Amino acid sequence: MISEKKEYCGLFGIFGDAEAVQKTYFGLHSLQHRGQESAGIATSDGKIIHCYTGMGTVRRVFRAGRDIYDKLPGRTAVGHVRYSTTGASRPVNSQPLLAEYSQGQVAVAHNGNLVNAARLRDEYEAYGSIFKTTSDTEIITHLLAKPTHVSNPDPLAHVLNHLQGAYSLLFLFADRIEAARDPFGIRPLCIGQISAEHGGQRGAYVVASETCALDAVRAKFIREIEPGEIVRLDEKGVSSRFFVTPGTVTPAHCVFEHVYFAKQNSTIFGENVHQFRKKLGGQLASEHPVDADVVIPVPDSGTSAAIGYAERSGIPFDMGLVRSHYVGRTFISPDQKLRELEVKLKLAVVNEVVAGKRIVVVDDSIVRGTTTRGKIRTLRTAGAKEVHMRVSCPPIRFPCFYGIDFPTKEELLANNRDLKQIRQFLEVDSVGYMSLEGMLSCAVLPPDHYCTACWSGKYRIPVSVAVNKFTMERYQMNMFDEVDTD
Ligand code: SF4
């Protein structure tokens, strides 16, 4: 699916490598699919933390190459790519977020959404705290700096116990990295090691949102960081502690990571993403068979599921839609006509594959449905005889408060529409969505180990006040910031 739901953030950290900043660049590059609005790297030379952030893709922000690298000395680094899920897209909200407090400097990189950030911020502002960003992440630095927290035997664990919501976090202190994952393990986070042979003196350690970033720097996957765990990387090596008692919380991994967000070559929540999506496609073919001539994916995230559908159904797979990777995000898509033009730029039809054929179109998900309908119309114009829509997840009916920027509930196609109305809206001959049970049957972990709230409406972490991207945008900011993507 294209442009209806947004990626959120990617994290990368490395400890003990002479090429820490260069490897962080490559790691972030491989995580670019998780956010293109801003990018940043903070490094530590052992005494001082240096930080550089900017708007746009990793390549754009660090285009000056060595000039910027020279300003980021040190053998330890954390990096971040961002799509804003709380806080507008502005330079001040770029991460890592650098702060100074009584214990020194800290740079924080966050993936997820804190559902209690607005309430915590209200409390701190009531006592006079001044916030310089509108991101939920900044509250964490204020919590760290609070004198009663600083005096705790384990201030970081103590602070994490104040947070509610989804968070994978990297903290860069002058002498170490601390990597933490929320007790539900909603967002992925893993650890690996670069062997000395590949430039890691004594075997540098790496932490990243997805294993594709470990591959990018030739680090060997060690394991996922556990929900509720803090992993510390310092001169002594790796150490671990838990801020919630292990086994007391049932995980709630985001299935959407598997369905859409994560990269196909990554392994998250114990399973390779491509293989999981292929299984989804096979299950989809079993649940919603149809007589057709060809199976085509909506690339790229629908491709693995379409392969699985074609394999199970015996219908040939082909590329009827081709994605252009050279079209960046358009500056703004204010109305439907421009959005449809944007989709046309990104997805082109291979007329020879679709003309005169009965087509099964496989996509990972449908959010608003307007872009899908635009594509269906293009396929019809190219001569498709029948179009059967197959979707490798259930109908999305509820918003996500844990870090995915869906449109409002009212804008969701499946909100208040039955299957017949959805079929009519999409202008297809038939439509079939994966069942929730079918989707979870494809996963390696037990069904209750996943968050399914956007399909089921069952939120594992209670949300008292609806959180959205602009929750913290309290004042009209009369400023324009360049959002420069390439
Ligand atoms: S609500 Fe949906 S997108 Fe959000 S964390 Fe849960 S499964 Fe993922």
Ligand 1 centre to CA of 306 (Å) is 22
For 356, how many CA atoms within 13 A lie in the half-sphere containing its CB? Answer: 1
Task: Give me the pLDDT at residue 65, please.
Answer: 59
CA of 34 to the centre of ligand 1 (A): 15
Point out the ligand 1 atom lying closest to the alpha carbon of residue 452. 7
Contact 393, 259 (CB under 8 A): yes
Spell out the residues 6+ positions from residue 148 whose beta carbon is closer than 8 angstroms to its own. none
pLDDT tens per residue across span 110-167: 999 999 999 999 999 999 999 999 889 999 999 999 999 999 999 999 999 999 999 9
Indicate if the alpha-carbon torsion angle 460, 466, 468, 472 is positive or negative: negative
Ligand 1 atom showing the smallest separation from residue 455 Cα: 2
**Percentage of the chain lying above the pLDDT 90 cut:** 77
Q: Per-residue confidence at 474, pLDDT binned at 50, 70, 90?
A: low
Within 13 Å, how many C-alpha atoms sit on residue 267's CB side? 15
On the 0-12 / 13-18 / 19+ scale of CB atoms within 10 A, 482 is exposed
Confidence of residue 199 (pLDDT cuts 50, 70, 90): low
pLDDT at 3 over 50: no
Reported as a pLDDT band with limits 50, 70 and 90, residue 411 is confident
Q: What is the pLDDT of residue 352?
A: 97
Ligand 1 contacts CB of residue 412 (under 6 A): no
| Smallest CA separation from ligand 1 atom 5, residue | 254
Return the pLDDT at 454.
95
Q: 428 alpha carbon to ligand 1 midpoint, in Å?
A: 27
CB-ligand 1 contact for 309 (6 Å cutoff): no
9 is catalytic: yes
End-to-end CA distance of the chain: 19
404 CB near ligand 1 (under 6 Å): yes
What is the average pLDDT score of the chain?
90
In terms of Cα–Cα distance, which of 316, 209, 319, 324 is closest to 273?
A: 209
The verdict on the CB of residue 184 being under 6 Å from ligand 1 is no
| 243 CB within 6 A, ligand 1 | no
Query: Which among 47, 52, 48 has a CA at the least distance from the CA of 28?
Result: 52
CB of 189 within 8 A of CB of 110? no
What is residue 63's predicted lDDT score, i.e. its pLDDT? 83
Ligand 1 pocket check for 14: Cβ under 6 Å: no
| Span from the CA of 290 to the centroid of ligand 1 (angstroms) | 29
How many Å apart are CA 9 and CA 82, to the nearest integer? 4
Please state whether the peptide bond connecting residue 96 to the residue before it is cis, i.e. omega within 30 degrees of 0: yes
Question: pLDDT per residue over 28-66, tens digit each?
Answer: 999 999 998 999 999 999 999 999 999 999 999 998 656
The three-class DSSP label of residue 139 is helix
